[in-house]
């Protein structure tokens, strides 16, 4: 399966602190859930143990939203939660 990242998603990744590697790992290994408008949502937690915007967090959670097109998965948006 080829994973393609839409420019909108790439911009959100940059703003929210997600890397290409984390997004790919979330698509490949994340927990799948149904999302609005027939999209696919995938969620995965990562050990973070670092600082994001002047606060210390132990965990980073990515939610990746996208669509399956044939054998490809197109990432539409990425949400990052720190806790």
pLDDT class of 39 with cuts at 50, 70, 90: very high
**pLDDT digits over 40-76, tens only?**
999 999 999 999 999 999 999 999 999 999 999 999 9
Q: How many other CB atoms are found less than 10 A from the CB of residue 4?
A: 11
**pLDDT digits over 14-38, tens only?**
999 999 999 999 999 999 998 999 9
Q: How many other CB atoms are found less than 10 A from the CB of residue 33?
A: 11
pLDDT class of 1 with cuts at 50, 70, 90: confident
Range of the domain at 46: 2-82
User: Contact at 8 Å (CB) between 21 and 3?
Assistant: no
What is the total count of domains within the chain? 1
């Amino acid at each position: 399966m080829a994973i393609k990242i839409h420019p909108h998603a790439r911009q959100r990744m940059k703003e929210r602190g997600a890397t290409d590697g984390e997004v790919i790992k979330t698509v490949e290994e994340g927990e799948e859930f149904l999302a609005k408008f027939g999209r696919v949502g995938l969620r995965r937690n990562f050990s973070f143990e670092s600082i994001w915007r002047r606060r210390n967090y132990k965990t980073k959670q990515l939610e990746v939203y996208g669509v399956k097109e044939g054998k490809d998965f197109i990432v539409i948006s990425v949400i990052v939660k720190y806790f």
